[in-house]
A and B are shown apart, each in its own frame.
Chain A
Amino acid sequence: MKKIIALLLALVMVVGLCACSVSKTEETKPAETKAAETNAPAETQAAAPEAAPVEISLWTYPIGKWTDEATVSALLADFNAAYPNITVKVEYLDYTNGDDKVNTAIEGGQAPDIVMEGPERLIANWGAKGLMVDLKDIVPAGTYDSIISSCTSANGEVYEMPVCMIAHCMAINRDVFEAAGALQYLNEETHTWNSVDDFFKAVQAVYDAGYDYVGTIYCGGQGGDQGTRALITNVSGGTYANAEHTEYTYASQENAEGLARLYAQDGINFDTAIVASDEIQNFVNGTFQMAFCWNISQEVNNADALGFDVLPMAFPSDTTPSLQGGIWGFGVFNNGDAAKIEAAKTFIKFMTEDDAQYTKAVEATTFAPVRDVDGIYATNELFPEYSLLSPLMGDYYQITKGWTQARTEWWNMLQRVDASDGSVEAILAEMTAAQDAANAAAAE
Chain B
Amino acid sequence: MAKNNVQYSKKQRRLVMQENIAAYLFLLPFLVFFVGFVLYPMFMCIYTSFFDATMGREDIFVGFENYKALFQDEVFWIALKNTMVIVLVSVPITCIFSLWVASAISKMPVAATSAFRCIFYLPVVTGSVAVTMVWKWMFNNYYGIFNYLGKDVLGILDKPINWLGDPKYALGCIILILLTTSVGQPIVLYVSALDNVDKSLVEAAEVDGATPKQAFWKIKWPQMMPTTLYILVITTINSFQCFALIQLLTSGGPKNSTMTIMYYIYYNAFKLYKYGYGNAMGVILAIIIAILSAIQFKAGQEK
Residues of chain A at the chain B interface (Cβ within 8 Å) = 99-100, 103-104, 106-107, 129-131, 213, 219-221, 271-274, 282, 287, 404-405, 408, 412, 415-416, 418-419
Closest A residue to B159 using CB positions: A212
Contact B167–A103 (Cβ < 8 Å): no
Say which residue of A100, A130, A419 sits within 8 Å of B270 (CB atoms). A100
Say which residue of B57, B167, B251, B273 sits within 8 Å of A220 (CB atoms). B251
User: Is B172 at the interface (CB under 8 A from chain A)?
Assistant: no
Per the bound structure, the CA–CA distance linking A418 and B166 in Å amounts to 9
User: Is B103 at the interface (CB under 8 A from chain A)?
Assistant: no
Smallest beta-carbon distance B75→chain A, Å? 9
Smallest beta-carbon distance B69→chain A, Å? 13
Q: With A99-B271, A100-B271, A106-B55 in contact, do A274 and B165 touch (Cβ < 8 Å)?
A: yes
Per the bound structure, the CA–CA distance linking A235 and B78 in Å amounts to 34
Per the bound structure, the CA–CA distance linking A129 and B274 in Å amounts to 13
Smallest beta-carbon distance A363→chain B, Å? 33
Q: With A419-B167, A419-B254 in contact, do A131 and B56 touch (Cβ < 8 Å)?
A: yes
Contact B165–A271 (Cβ < 8 Å): yes
Contact B162–A273 (Cβ < 8 Å): yes
Per the bound structure, the CA–CA distance linking A416 and B270 in Å amounts to 23
Contact A221–B253 (Cβ < 8 Å): yes
Contact A415–B253 (Cβ < 8 Å): yes
User: Is B141 at the interface (CB under 8 A from chain A)?
Assistant: yes
Per the bound structure, the CA–CA distance linking A99 and B273 in Å amounts to 11
Q: With A103-B270, A103-B273 in contact, do A129 and B165 touch (Cβ < 8 Å)?
A: no
Q: Which residues of B contact A274 (CB under 8 A)?
A: 141, 165
Q: With A103-B55, A419-B255 in contact, do A273 and B164 touch (Cβ < 8 Å)?
A: yes
Q: With A100-B271, A274-B165, A282-B142 in contact, do A415 and B55 touch (Cβ < 8 Å)?
A: no
A-facing residues in B188-224 (Cβ within 8 Å): none
User: Is B288 at the interface (CB under 8 A from chain A)?
Assistant: no
Per the bound structure, the CA–CA distance linking A408 and B54 in Å amounts to 18
Say which residue of B54, B250, B251, B272 sits within 8 Å of A405 (CB atoms). B272
Contact B165–A107 (Cβ < 8 Å): no
Contact A272–B55 (Cβ < 8 Å): no
Q: Which residues of B contact A273 (CB under 8 A)?
A: 141, 162-165, 170, 250, 253-254
Closest B residue to A131 using CB positions: B56
Contact A272–B162 (Cβ < 8 Å): yes
Contact B56–A415 (Cβ < 8 Å): no
List, sorted by A's number, 7 A–B pairs whose CB atoms are closer than 8 Å.
A99-B270, A99-B271, A220-B250, A221-B253, A408-B272, A412-B253, A412-B255
Closest A residue to B143 using CB positions: A287
Per the bound structure, the CA–CA distance linking A273 and B258 in Å amounts to 12
Q: With A415-B253, A415-B254 in contact, do A287 and B142 touch (Cβ < 8 Å)?
A: yes
Q: With A273-B165, A282-B142 in contact, do A107 and B253 touch (Cβ < 8 Å)?
A: no
Contact B142–A272 (Cβ < 8 Å): no
Smallest beta-carbon distance A332→chain B, Å? 15
Q: Which residues of B contact A220 (CB under 8 A)?
A: 165, 250-251, 253-254
Q: With A213-B142, A271-B165 in contact, do A418 and B254 touch (Cβ < 8 Å)?
A: yes
Per the bound structure, the CA–CA distance linking A282 and B270 in Å amounts to 29
Per the bound structure, the CA–CA distance linking A396 and B119 in Å amounts to 55
Known: A103-B270, A107-B270. 15 other contacts (CB 8 A): A99-B270, A100-B271, A103-B271, A129-B273, A220-B254, A272-B254, A273-B163, A273-B164, A273-B254, A274-B141, A274-B165, A282-B142, A287-B142, A404-B272, A418-B254
Per the bound structure, the CA–CA distance linking A358 and B117 in Å amounts to 62
Smallest beta-carbon distance A441→chain B, Å? 9
Contact B164–A104 (Cβ < 8 Å): no
Q: With A271-B141, A287-B142, A405-B272 in contact, do A416 and B250 touch (Cβ < 8 Å)?
A: no
Q: Which residues of A contact B164 (CB under 8 A)?
A: 273
**Which one of A273, A282, A408, A412 has the highest number of Cβ atoms from chain B below 10 Å of its Cβ?**
A273
Per the bound structure, the CA–CA distance linking A282 and B162 in Å amounts to 15
Contact B255–A416 (Cβ < 8 Å): yes
Q: Which residues of B contact A419 (CB under 8 A)?
A: 167, 254-255
Per the bound structure, the CA–CA distance linking A161 and B270 in Å amounts to 26
Per the bound structure, the CA–CA distance linking A131 and B254 in Å amounts to 33
Q: Which residues of B contact A131 (CB under 8 A)?
A: 55-56
Per the bound structure, the CA–CA distance linking A219 and B272 in Å amounts to 19
Per the bound structure, the CA–CA distance linking A100 and B143 in Å amounts to 29
A-facing residues in B228-265 (Cβ within 8 Å): 250-251, 253-256
Q: With A271-B141, A273-B141, A419-B254 in contact, do A104 and B270 touch (Cβ < 8 Å)?
A: yes
Contact B271–A408 (Cβ < 8 Å): yes
Q: Which residues of A contact B251 (CB under 8 A)?
A: 220-221
Q: Which residues of B contact A129 (CB under 8 A)?
A: 54-57, 273
Per the bound structure, the CA–CA distance linking A129 and B56 in Å amounts to 6
Q: Which residues of B contact A405 (CB under 8 A)?
A: 272
Contact B272–A272 (Cβ < 8 Å): no
Per the bound structure, the CA–CA distance linking A100 and B54 in Å amounts to 14
Residue-wise, chain B 166-180 has the 8 Å CB interface mask toward A (1 for contact) of 110010000000000
Contact A415–B255 (Cβ < 8 Å): yes
Smallest beta-carbon distance A331→chain B, Å? 14
Per the bound structure, the CA–CA distance linking A408 and B273 in Å amounts to 13
Per the bound structure, the CA–CA distance linking A103 and B271 in Å amounts to 8
Q: With A213-B142, A274-B165 in contact, do A107 and B55 touch (Cβ < 8 Å)?
A: yes
Per the bound structure, the CA–CA distance linking A287 and B143 in Å amounts to 9
Per the bound structure, the CA–CA distance linking A220 and B164 in Å amounts to 10
Smallest beta-carbon distance A235→chain B, Å? 22
